[in-house]
Amino acid sequence: MLPDGLIKRIGALLGPRGYLDRPEDLSLYEYDGGVEKHRPDLVVFPRTAADVAEIARIAHEFRLPLVGRGAGTGLSGGAIPREGGIVVGFARMNRIVEIDRENERAVVEPGVVNLDVTLAVEKSGYFYAPDPSSQRACTIGGNVSENAGGPHTLAYGVTTNHVLGLDLVLADGAVVSTGGREPDLPGYDLTGLLTGSEGTMALVTKVTVRLMRKAEMVKTILAIYESNEDAGRTVAEITARAITPVAVEMLDGVMLRMVEEATHAGYPMDAAAVLLIELEGIKEAVERQVGQICEACTLSGAREVRVARSAEERELLWKGRKNAFGAVGRVSPTYYVQDGVVPRTKIAATLHFINEVARKYGLTISNIFHAGDGNMHPIILFDARKAGDLEKARACGEEILTFCIDNGGSITGEHGVGMEKNELMARQFPPETLDMIRRLKLLFDPDNRLNPGKVLPTGRGCLEIRQAPLAEGSTVY
């Protein structure tokens, strides 16, 4: 139930088409790309930073939760209003404000689609490096919130490596800026702190990003294997040769067959796994490294190694990789994507464990992941219409993420913690660290109204930190 007077205030600010409050409309904003759901009480669509600030002030006055939302492509429940309240949809704040090619910078609003930044500058030889698989739909604001990565993270890093400055609105409506166009500004790196904070500290209204020049040469290699383990060992062999490709992606047999049937990208239907490896750089260096990588693949057990002969062939291979999640939807009515990280030396062992978990629960798990940095994406296929299937999928995911932690890894590499993995934070970090994180969040949001119920544990078990407003005597439970 919305407080009296709220709709009138919002309508006066945004107009009658600037918000949604009917149940049938709100139901479209109760989910993202994951498996969780919770309906908001109101969805608003600001057009300016001033609108966002006033919305925040109104929410502060009525003591309502505020949750930012980009395109809703997230996979950890980050944009789901766990406690109801107001969802701030940034779809109408979608302008590329400025492109500064001379200084390799761009300023964009949070609703700008990731790929549109590259499309705006590619004719002049530039691109925006972070490239999530959903880059045709996901937005820069969402990428900043989750610190999104992508296939080319291995060489270029994740979103935080390409964000130079942020314009923000705090929970009480205060407007602040961090960073800027200048590199290495003095003082605390608040831009780095807020990138990846999952909307729990501020709402982003403008982003200054780094642009990069396209490489002189790009080569893409497809290595084909009879076993997952051989593909996993290849990654370690490439690393041992001191070669850093811009991307090393792995698809197992289950996944590559779904992808090939959907996209006809040229993947072999009978293989157990493939590696998609990409090199960029100066022509002579790339040509030399192609030979070294082909040798490493062969020595590690690849039955065949192909080098894309044209830009069209390379783009087709990447089309298969980028459209993989869509290909899964043709086979399974629902699926659950995980995002654990392990050291590269543990990839083969992790794949073996994932297969064991699949057998244990009687579910199919396909694997597609950023092998170069050990960022695993097991995709658990299930049917939500079958009693118990969703619970089994959740149990599978928890066992896999626990294995990642126990083997020196992490519960997320790019999808964020959200409401999907927040209880596992108590296993990832000691209580003292969680308490520090909580206190830092509450400095920005003392009433815990920005995306509440995310990132930190909510109190399901012991040794966890309840998310509550900071109060004297608050402690770790």
Contact partners, residue 372, CB within 8 Å, separation at least 6:
153, 154, 235, 244, 245, 247, 248, 249, 344
Contact partners, residue 239, CB within 8 Å, separation at least 6:
344
> Structure tokens of 302?
């690849």
The C-alpha R_g of the chain, in whole angstroms, comes to: 23
> Structure tokens of 115?
């790929």
Confidence label for 239 from pLDDT (cuts 50, 70 and 90): confident
Please give the pLDDT value at position 466: 40
Q: How many CB atoms lie within 10 A of CB 466?
A: 13
Within 226-333, strands assigned E span 247-252, 273-281, 304-307
CA distance 189 to 169: 17
CA distance 159 to 414: 9
Ordered by where they begin, the domains of the chain are 6-89 (3.30.43.10), 96-129+138-147+157-213 (3.30.465.10), 217-326 (3.30.70.2190), 332-406 (3.30.70)
> Structure tokens of 311?
């830009």
Task: Quickly tell me which residue has 């429940």 as its tokens.
Answer: 77
* Residue spans of alpha helices (H) in 19-79: 23-26, 49-62
In the chain, the percentage of residues whose pLDDT exceeds 70 is 96
Chain centroid to CA 79: 12
297 contacts 305 by C-beta, under 8 angstroms: yes
- Dihedral angle, C-alpha 93, 94, 100, 106, nearest 10 °: 80
For residues 471 and 41, the model is more confident at 41
pLDDT digits over 289-336, tens only? 999 999 999 999 999 999 999 999 999 999 999 888 889 988 998 999
Q: How many CB atoms lie within 10 A of CB 18?
A: 18
- pLDDT for 156 beyond 70: yes
CA distance 250 to 112: 29
Phi and psi based region of residue 244 (left: phi greater than 0; alpha: psi -120 to 50; beta: remaining): beta
Task: Quickly tell me which residue has 């040469």 as its tokens.
Answer: 217
Please give the pLDDT value at position 463: 34
Confidence label for 363 from pLDDT (cuts 50, 70 and 90): very high
User: What is the average pLDDT value for the chain, to the nearest integer?
Assistant: 93
Q: Could you give the 3-state DSSP secondary structure of residue 241?
A: coil
Q: 50 - beta bridge partners?
A: none
Pairing outcome for strands 212-213 and 126-127? antiparallel
Please give the pLDDT value at position 471: 45
- pLDDT for 477 beyond 50: no
In degrees rounded to 5, what are phi and psi of residue 267?
-80, 140
pLDDT digits over 424-454, tens only? 999 999 999 999 999 999 999 999 999 999 9
Confidence label for 461 from pLDDT (cuts 50, 70 and 90): very low
Please give the pLDDT value at position 183: 78
454 contacts 418 by C-beta, under 8 angstroms: yes
> Structure tokens of 448?
């815990």
